[in-house]
Structure 1
Amino acid sequence: MKILILGAGQVGSSAAYHLSREEANEVTVVDKRPDVLRDLQDRLDIRTVVGHAAYPDVLERAGAKDAEIVIALTDTDETNMIACQIAYTKFGTPTRIARLRSAEYMKANDLFSQDAIPIDVRISPEQLVCSHIEQLILYPGSSQVLDFANGRVRLVAAKADRGGLLVGQKIETLKDHVRNAEGRIAAIYRDGEAMPLKGDTVIQEEDEVFFITDRKDIRVFMNEMRKLEEPVRRVVIAGGGNIGVRLALALEQ
């Protein structure tokens, strides 16, 4: 697959690293900074093009006409949007993905269509970080919280400790502990290794346990893994940037 990445910052470089590891992918990275591209090319099996990511001639030199995916990851929202527009209008690139930092753009769904700004997928690392922090605050003691089915179901990771009701007991006894809640254990990691999920597997202290359940039952399952912590009521946010403001608004609601 021919992939064109626009921007060689932290996000763009990370995307280039992971995508170039697949043998089937041919990755080209565009950036205005030749020194950054040289360093990236020394480490990765990629092609690089120096220039402005939204200029038609730069996109043409980078192979936008033959690319199957354009991923616009520069630090400027407007550059990313224009680059996707040009990739679609001039070169017919099938799939366009753009990083958008501004919450105003992320919530303006009516702007993004084939007849307006043709971006197939909008990603916001800042919003992902904010959402992750918000979930950890909502569920003290959790290390990861992932949404499924529009947030109705969640996958939660928590480290088992001696206060958990299920710690030291077999997985199969979970149904006896939790009678009025739906959910199940999805994975157990012990010392970094995945444990077999069998009925007679015993949950030990310090195990990282992943369970999936309805959002309303998360605290019930958390109580099985560790002593419940009091809900967070007061939060101090240091920094009023994109993430800080988004987090403050989310917690206020």
Structure 2
Amino acid sequence: MRKLSLLALSSLLVPQIVWAQPDTQSSYRLLKLDGRVVKWGEPTLGTATELTYGFITEPTQFDDARNCQTTGSLTPILENNKIPESEFLAAATNAFAMWESVSGIRFRKTDHTEVADILIGSDLGNHGWAHADVLSVPSGVEVDTITRGLVCLSTNKVWNVGFGKNENGQDLQYTLTHEIGHAIGLNHASPFGQIMSFNYGEAFADLQQGDIDGVRRLYGMPTLSHNTLATAEQTPLR
């Protein structure tokens, strides 16, 4: 049985979200589909996993998705906002690295999108700013298993790399970090104060304590040292 979630990053509360009760007193919420927590890898809370991610390069239809159903290349977003591909790749690498640096998740970029766990592309439907979609299957044990994550960005919004560049735009790294959080099993937290809060803001660029507590609840503590900044030359999107 497939289970889908409706997740979005917006300047307004998304009314379709069904809020779960906090798992601890810290400001995080685990994503629950059909009342069950979902995560990648071993279906046990606190266990590490390795994931791949890739970038969609051509129009792709996901008929079993609620969000990001019709996706495409990120090129129009970069061209419309005059963002060099290298800057976008650095922002995406940093977004994944932030989650990796504080938890037991390891991420690896792949050019083979047909096997990537998490796919990132443009939202050809242009519904809001950005969305994530999670597909999971029952595990029969403690939690259900995520089998696919989608992240999509609107082509008709203003995007920046960095804060304070355009009051009508949103920072790509912050937005990607938020949506990746959904794709790995985190729900919206409080209105403000965490990367996973449902309101966009530029008061901070790093994961906050609730974000860290949430991802560690799912995947445990980091087991290796990680770089948190993209300093190496990045392979192209396509």
Q: TM-score range by the shorter chain?
A: under 0.3
With a CA cutoff of 8 Å and minimum separation of 6, indicate the structure with the bigger relative contact order: 2
Considering fraction of residues, name the structure with more helix.
1
Q: TM-score, normalised by structure 2?
A: 0.25
Q: Which has the larger radius of gyration?
A: 1
